[in-house]
A and B are shown apart, each in its own frame.
Chain A
């Protein structure tokens, strides 16, 4: 309890500092701290999947993107108008007040987890989170994948060929090369874990993206052809839509997996999402394919 309170207040503090520091670099650093703390808080709330996403994606990869933005755009600290701040605060407070009685009166049988665990055996995977993401709520995940893909293509289209910060230090270069195989191994391991335990494709993909971005920060690149990279960017969307359409044509319905084939379909989709997410985030960081 004490630990949770401390983490919560530190989280609020880091959010405040991130919003209120004049230096945009400082804001970015406090944003990283905020991400890490909220990851820890998610662990305390027994949501390790979300914690993983928050730390790998929200704290590591996103902050790299923010730092790149700060370095290239040379923006001063963003000044938000006071009235706008006021209204944002009022709306957040109203939402909080609205949510508190709802959270306090929530009964166990109303919780979604009961429903999920009831139907878990029909999903083809043992992890409730993956079952929701890729089976019960497959549509949402498909659209998420679509949104990321579209956003990255937007980034590629808007790229003006800005100079990216690289540090060609031999020590760092060799370390990034040494670390990459381990990162690849762990990202696939995390993706595979998603079928029965904590883990998943987005976490694994972001991990891989982190390794690739580290490589590119030292002025190196993975040697795969441009056309292969482009097709890898689209892979998850293609596989997801393809699997969904296949079952739609055979009469089960879009993204409704027949029980004996559901595990293999989900693993296939997860693998493709892992690869694509990694390449998409890497491309988003580099700004070009």
Chain B
């Protein structure tokens, strides 16, 4: 029961952060702040989401798979934001 509540709380928290990030991506003015919003919210929101899902799994292998997914998504999302920021700076300088 306690685990279920914790799992649900973490999931909702994760969804909230992802939503905030998406709103930031749409509403903020320039590219840098957009990247800032989406990357931070992505890492945090997805982290909470995975944490919530981990608490609702039964086997260890599922937990490990979720952890691996989290690692991959975090590394890729930071890489993508790095790529966008890099490109934007190059364009601004030139």
Contact = CB atoms under 8 A, between A and B. Distances in A.
Interface in B46-94: 72, 75, 79, 82-83, 86
Contacts of A118: none
A39 to B, nearest CB: 15
Contacts, number: 12
B83 to A, nearest CB: 7
A244 to B, nearest CB: 36
Contacts of B86: 169
A171 B75 CA distance: 11
A172 B79 CA distance: 7
Interface size class on chain A is: under 10
Interface in B7-48: none
B83 A172 contact: yes
Interface string A158-173: 0000000001010110
A175 B80 CA distance: 12
Contacts of A179: 72, 75
Contacts of A171: 79, 82
A167 B83 CA distance: 10
Contacts of B83: 167, 169, 172
Interface in A145-192: 167, 169, 171-172, 175, 179
A167 B79 CA distance: 13
Nearest to B86: A169
B89 to A, nearest CB: 13
Nearest to A178: B75
Contacts of A175: 75, 79
A172 B83 CA distance: 9
A171 B79 CA distance: 9
A210 to B, nearest CB: 12
Contacts of A172: 79, 82-83
A104 to B, nearest CB: 36
A169 B82 CA distance: 11
B87 to A, nearest CB: 9
A207 B10 CA distance: 31
Contacts of B72: 179
A48 to B, nearest CB: 14
A179 B75 CA distance: 10
A193 to B, nearest CB: 12
A208 to B, nearest CB: 15
B59 to A, nearest CB: 14
Contacts of B75: 175, 179
A179 B79 CA distance: 12
Interface string A244-260: 00000000000000000
A179 B86 CA distance: 21
12 contacts: A167-B83, A169-B83, A169-B86, A171-B79, A171-B82, A172-B79, A172-B82, A172-B83, A175-B75, A175-B79, A179-B72, A179-B75
Interface of B: 72, 75, 79, 82-83, 86
Which 5 residue pairs across A and B have the least CB separation, nearest first?
A175-B79, A172-B79, A175-B75, A171-B82, A169-B86
Given A171-B82, A172-B79, A175-B79, 8 more contacts: A167-B83, A169-B83, A169-B86, A171-B79, A172-B82, A172-B83, A175-B75, A179-B75
